[in-house]
Amino acid sequence: MLNALLAHHDLENHAEIQFTFFFIEQNEARVERLREEVAGLGELPGNVSVAIEHGKFEPIFSSAIHPIVEKGTPTFAFIDPFGYSKTPMSTTGRLLDFPRCETLFFLPMSFICRFVARDGQESALTSLFGTDRRRAAIPLQGQERTEYLLTLFERQLESNDGVEFVRSFQLRTEDGNDYRLVFSLGHLVGLEKAKDAMWSVDPVAGTSYTAATESGQEVLFSPSDTIDTKPLLAELRSQFANEWFTIEQAERATLVDTPFRKGHLRRLTLQPAERAGTLEVERPGRGFKGAKMRFRQ
């Protein structure tokens, strides 16, 4: 992660942003090795800091986020725990209870689903989800269990005051494990940036990202595929029917209610629909700015 930041082509133009890497490791030998690796990077830029703590995640992280919460410092936090047993929802929730903090959480779904019914995991899993409602997943199997637990985790994140949008992206590995990147976001711009980032990344061999619209239509994303925006058009038609709507309303619906980006809306969706006669557009000039549109019956 440090290498990715230090090699970023535009880092020098982000001097006003403080990048903080906070590593918590229980194994002392690993702590020493990590310190050697970081020292080998040489002098870091003034806005990049690294803290390496030897100890357990929960108490150290809780202490570390206290000044952030107290000051309300605008923060984007990537929480990448080693496992899940010491990553309580209560700790994450403290970060999310103020409106200028957003998080990206790495969730090892395969392992959570596998151990949800195992004896000795009750306390850890209840702490992770912040509720014992995860017990309802025990009699479920396969995809049904996964969907229940992921939805529960997302809803628990959404219950925090500073969270308006939660979006999850699936990472399938070649060995069959299922991991999720879960964004909790407090602003529409954050949602837009998150989607742009996920669409721009070429997955490694054997990976894919899946998502679904509010109406349940699934979309499979892969850089080798031609993007099919029919589900986006169907979602817009479902929401607006034959009522007039603006490009701003369509953009919000695209971001909030579908897995698509704003960049998929005009050229790939609205323009073809207009040419096909499906969409009626009244515009003051060229393009969609200031225009109103509606679907024909």
CATH architecture of 2-221: 3-Layer(aba) Sandwich (3.40)
3-state class (DSSP) for residue 1: coil
The pLDDT tens digits for 137-175 are: 999 999 999 999 999 989 988 887 778 899 888 877 777
Going by pLDDT thresholds of 50, 70 and 90, the confidence category of residue 224 is very low
Q: What is the pTM of this model?
A: 0.71
d(CA 17, CA 286): 38
Task: Pinpoint the alpha helices (H) of 176-277.
Answer: 188-200, 230-240, 247-257, 271-275
pLDDT digits (tens, 9 = 90+) for 234-290: 999 999 998 999 999 999 999 999 888 898 999 999 999 999 999 999 998 888 989
DSSP 297: -
Residue 296 makes CB contacts below 8 A (sequence gap 6+) with: 242, 277, 278, 279, 280
Contact 178, 170 (CB under 8 A): yes
